[in-house]
Structure formats: structure tokens, C-alpha cells
Amino acid sequence: MGALEMGITEEELQPLVNAWRNANPMITALWWDIDRAVKTTVREHIPTEVAGLKFTYESGFLFMRLPSDRRLAYVKPRMGINQFGSESVTYEGVGATKKWERLESYGPKFCENAIQAIARDILMYAMQTLRNCSIVAHVHDELIIEADRRMSLSAVCEQMGRTPPWAKGLLLRADGYECDFYKKD
């Protein structure tokens, strides 16, 4: 999370990692539940499910079906050995060299992929609820709308905070601000 760039040494890093993981046991449990599910699907080519994520192996692809029903695809998955000498899932993708290569992954990374994809799906749902607005851009989780000054900011926030039908029970809220040109809040 940028600790090394902030001047924290490698020796100081592991206790911080351990403290974070100990303070967030449900997140770390989710990581390893996802790790087991993905490995089972890749090894045995059988569907698995964890926390609303469904994993399938089809025609040389590992698919992760999100709560929105959208699927993420991992090309030619197989079991391999990671850089630490442990068993991991590998797949083909574009690496740091910007060329196709075999990439390794594990539960926390698959979890990160799922969370980022779900966040994207929530943003797309918000964009659809605001389809009558003039959305000119989006930056991460922000929408940039060009609007008449009479438009209600609170109405835009209310619409953007609506929970998608596929995410029942998820509590969302949106904040906004008005300005003459885009700037980070």
C-alpha cells in the first residue's frame, strides 16, 4: 500500500502487515476462502462458490461470476509454483513487460479483482440511473456531470446512492460537490 515509498523499511513492514491482518480477520478469511475455491475449480474443473462469487472452468478459461452476473475471465489457468515456492494458480495475461506471459495469482489478488470489478459495476449502475444527465467523465468512483446550476445536487447524490438490484442489503451513499471546473474534492 505504498509503505516502502513512504520510507518504511522491509524489516518494519512485516509487523505492520501482521497487525493489519490480525485486525481484519474476516477479510483475510475471505482471501483464503477464495484461494481454496479458485484452486479447486482449476484443479478439478468443478464449479465453486464463495461470498456470492462463482468460479467455473470452461473451455480453457477460469471464470469468476460477479454478483452483477458479469464474468471476469482468466486465460488458460493451471496450477503452478509461485515465486515463494508454494502452489498457486497461474494464467496467461499481459505482464509488466506489456507482453503476454504466465502470471501467478492467489486468493488476495483474486479478491482484489472481484472488489474492483464490483465497484465498477456499482458505478455503471449509478451511471445508468443518471442516464439523462450529461456525464462527461468518471474518475475511479466519481462522476463528472455538466449540468444547469438549477439541477439538484442532492437528487444526483440520491440517485447515485441507489443500491443495484443484484446487491440487496448493500448500503450505499454518495456525496457530491459543485464547481466550475473539475478538481479533486
Query: What is the rounded average pLDDT of the residues 164-184?
Result: 91
pTM: 0.88
The CA dihedral of 53, 58, 60, 66, to the nearest 10 degrees, is -20
Distance CA 161, CA 153 (A): 12
Distance CA 65, CA 82 (A): 25
Cell triple for residue 56? 467455473
- Spell out a b/e string for 20-38, using b for 16 or more CB atoms within 10 Å of the CB, else e: eeeeeeeebebbebbbebb
Q: Burial-class residue 96 by CB neighbours within 10 Å (0-12, 13-18, 19+).
A: exposed
Task: Check if the beta carbon of residue 89 is closer than 8 Å to that of residue 105.
Answer: yes
Strand partners, 135: 145
Give residue 149's pLDDT: 86
Give residue 5's pLDDT: 79
Which segments of the chain are extended strands (E)?
48-50, 53-58, 61-65, 71-81, 87-94, 100-105, 134-139, 142-146
**44-97 per-position pLDDT tens digit:** 999 999 999 999 999 999 999 999 999 999 999 999 998 889 999 999 999 999
Q: Please say whether the dihedral angle defined by the alpha carbons of residues 178, 126, 129 and 138, taken in this order, is positive or negative.
A: positive
